[in-house]
Every structure is written in C-alpha cells, then in structure tokens.
Amino acid sequence: MFRLMFHQPCIPQNTGNAIRLSAVTGSELHLVKPLGFDLSEPKLKRAGLDYHDLASVTVHENLEAAWEKLEPKRVFAFTAHADFSYAAIEYEPGDILLFGPEPTGLSAEVLADPHVTAKVRIPMVPGRRSLNITNAASVVLYEAWRQNGFTGGV
C-alpha cells in the first residue's frame, strides 16, 4: 500500500485525522520527529476516534532514520512551490507521499533531499497559501488508491 509521511507535524488534530485516514485506506503513516505535540494528547486521540489500533503508525527520530528503515524507491514531496501536479503521477504501491509541517510546509533542505523523486503540488486558485495537511494527504492518497483499483477496499 501507500505510505504517508508527515515531516515534523505540529497540530495534533491533523495527525489524529491522518491516523484515521491511514486506518480507512490501509496505508502506513510515518511521522518524523520532532513532533509539535505528545502522541498521548487528547486532541490527537479525539481526532483519530477509535482508529488508533487499526492504523499502521511509525514514528522516526529524523528523516535519515526514516529513509534507512523504509528504503524508499519513490518519494513525492508535496509543496505549493512546485509546478508538477499530483494528478500527473502514476502512483505505485510503496510510494511515499511526503507532507510538511503546518504552517510552513517542507523546508528547502527537505525538498532538496536526494530521496525526493519529484516536488508536486495540488492545484489551487491564485493567492491561496495551502491546503490543510490531512486534506491534502487525503486528496493525493485517494487518487493513488483509485489508480490502483482501490485494492483491498470495499
């Protein structure tokens, strides 16, 4: 399945929603430290409802530790500063869909990481800064899953 990666997430409710998203799609969620909250925070638990035990969530100490463990073949880094649309990609199981922290997004250093296959954007009307991180992850993850026949879904 697909692997969502949130690099240094800051808002517990968004990560709770991502836990729920991971559970309902059968995807993996990878969180890269530092986190802007404690994983036992009530807001995170409330947003994730009762899906925490149904989700595959891994916390990595840093990006290098994540790369070492995951050995990624393809990593798509999502940023409002890219020209390449998420809809133009032919997604494959195992792809990593990398999203940056709220409100800053991925740093230039992360975007330049040699593991990043492509910098990708979700189209928006001009003058808008960004989409909520979990909303953005949902748009992309469902497109990737759709392209792959919703394998494992009902």
Q: In CATH, what number is assigned to the domain containing residue 17? A: 3.40.1280.10
* Of 115, 124, 117, 122, residue with least CA distance to 142: 122
* Of 1, 13, 7, residue with least CA distance to 30: 7
Region of 111 (left: φ > 0; alpha: ψ -120 to 50; beta: rest) is: alpha
Strands 28-32 and 56-60: parallel
Region of 28 (left: φ > 0; alpha: ψ -120 to 50; beta: rest) is: beta
Tens of pLDDT along the chain (154 residues) come to 899 999 999 998 899 899 999 999 999 999 999 999 888 767 666 655 577 788 999 999 999 999 999 999 999 999 998 999 999 999 999 999 999 998 899 999 999 999 999 999 999 999 888 889 999 999 999 999 999 999 999 8
75 is a domain residue: yes
| C-alpha span between 102 and 9 (Å, rounded) | 7
Into how many domains does the chain fold?
Answer: 1
Q: What is the DSSP string of 102-150?
A: TTT-S-HHHHT-TT--EEEE----TT-----HHHHHHHHHHHHHHHTTT
93 is a domain residue: yes
pTM of the model: 0.93
152 is a domain residue: no
154 is a domain residue: no
Domain span at residue 136 reads 3-147
| C-alpha span between 115 and 111 (Å, rounded) | 9
